[in-house]
Amino acid sequence: MMMKETLTALILEKKAAMGLTWEGIAAGIGLSPVFSVSACLGMNSLKAEPAQKLVTLLELPPEALAAIMACPTKSWEKAVPTDPLIYRLYEIVGVYGPTMKTLIHEKFGDGIMSAIDFSMHIDKEPNPAGDRVVVTMNGKFLPYKSW
């Protein structure tokens, strides 16, 4: 069986060789760019139909189908990352996380935002002072229950 790490490397090779964009791959399999990239990088799995579309689109070997459909192990380095873009996201959560938590609790009560019933969009907003990155996260509120 093909491992997800091997599949990810193969997907990246095929994407580059074919001159495809993530938006093009996402459109080709019928899913959002964020979720498509996450699955291709091994952090999510695809259901049968989009998995088959991905295999066909990227001309992947048959064993890639089972790998892209396999449940992932979702883990990441616990240390603060050194990649500047990812580090800045950690910095945003570090600086604004308590503020976000406070405002979410004020609006919804005690609970969390789901990362399972969740969507995210990444957009580019032209701006004369420098283009802006727009990240929109939308997660179901899950209240803590008493028992």
pLDDT in tens, 53-98: 999 999 999 999 999 999 988 777 778 888 999 999 989 988 889 8
Is residue 88 among the annotated active site residues? yes
Question: How far from 65 is each of 6, 43, 80, 89, 115, CA to CA, in Å?
Answer: 13, 15, 33, 32, 25
pTM confidence score: 0.79
Rounded CA-CA distance 74/72 in Å is 6
- Residues 8, 75: Cα–Cα separation, whole Å: 15
- Homologous superfamily, domain 84-143: Cyanate lyase, C-terminal domain (3.30.1160.10)
Question: Mean pLDDT across the stretch 42-55?
Answer: 96
Q: What is the pLDDT of residue 79?
A: 83
Distance in angstroms (rounded) separating the CA atoms of residues 30 and 124: 21
Interacting residues of 38 by C-beta distance below 8 A, sequence separation 6+: 44
For residue 132, indicate whether it is catalytic.
no
The active-site residue out of 5, 59, 88, 119 is 88
| Catalytic pick among 49, 59, 63, 91 | 91
How confident is the model at residue 53, as a pLDDT? 98
63 carries an active-site annotation: no
Where are the domains positioned within the chain?
4-69, 84-143
Instruction: Report whether pLDDT(147) > 90.
Output: no
Per-state percent for the chain, helix, strand, coil, to nearest 5: 50, 20, 30
CA-angle at 115, arms to 9 and 96, nearest 5°: 100
CATH class of residue range 4-69 = mainly alpha
Q: What digits encode the pLDDT tens for the residues 99-128? A: 899 899 999 999 999 999 999 999 999 999
Name the catalytic one among 59, 114, 119, 132: 114
